[in-house]
Amino acid sequence: RLACYDAVMRARAKAGELPPSSEDSAGRPAAVPSAPLPSVPAGAPQTAGASRDSFGLPAPTPREEAREYVLKAMRRSPTGAAILTMNDGAVWRQIDDKNLPRLRPGSRVRVKRGLMGSYILVVDRWSVRARRIR
């Protein structure tokens, strides 16, 4: 099967459909001149492993660790999840099943990043997972 493929590829190369191959006339791979590999400058970051792991992902952006808000209003959804409206108009919906007590307007709310795209809202001694809906 490989000999058949090689014959077809040689015929296509002779017809001008393919660039010349790297084989000599006897069908053996041609000797490739060995050139020294360019050296990496001493100050260049070594990212071979990191680039392989993050290939195709968007470039990392600097992220804020946490943001502070002041609670404007709190209400409950029909399912019992807390919906918190902040003083700047941001609206956050609770996504875990913790029982968050009624919070008073004016309370300080600290929002920090959680895992898997969620956020953690910390109010006094309470913390809940939430997602921003507005």
The pLDDT tens digits for 18-53 are 555 555 555 666 665 566 655 555 555 555 555 667
Q: Where along the chain do its domains lie?
A: 66-132
Question: Which of 50-54, 57-61, 86-90, 121-125 bottoms out in mean pLDDT, i.e. has the lowest?
Answer: 50-54
- Full-prediction pTM beyond 0.85? no
- The band of 105, judged by pLDDT with boundaries at 50, 70 and 90, is very high
pLDDT for 101 equals 87
In SS3 terms, the chain reads as CHHHHHHHHHHHHHCCCCCCCCECCCCCECCCCCCCCCCCCCCCCCCHHHHHHCCCCCCCCCCCCEEEEEEEEEEECCCCCEEEEECCCCEEEECCCCCCCCCCCCCEEEEEECCCCCEEEEECCEEEEEEECC
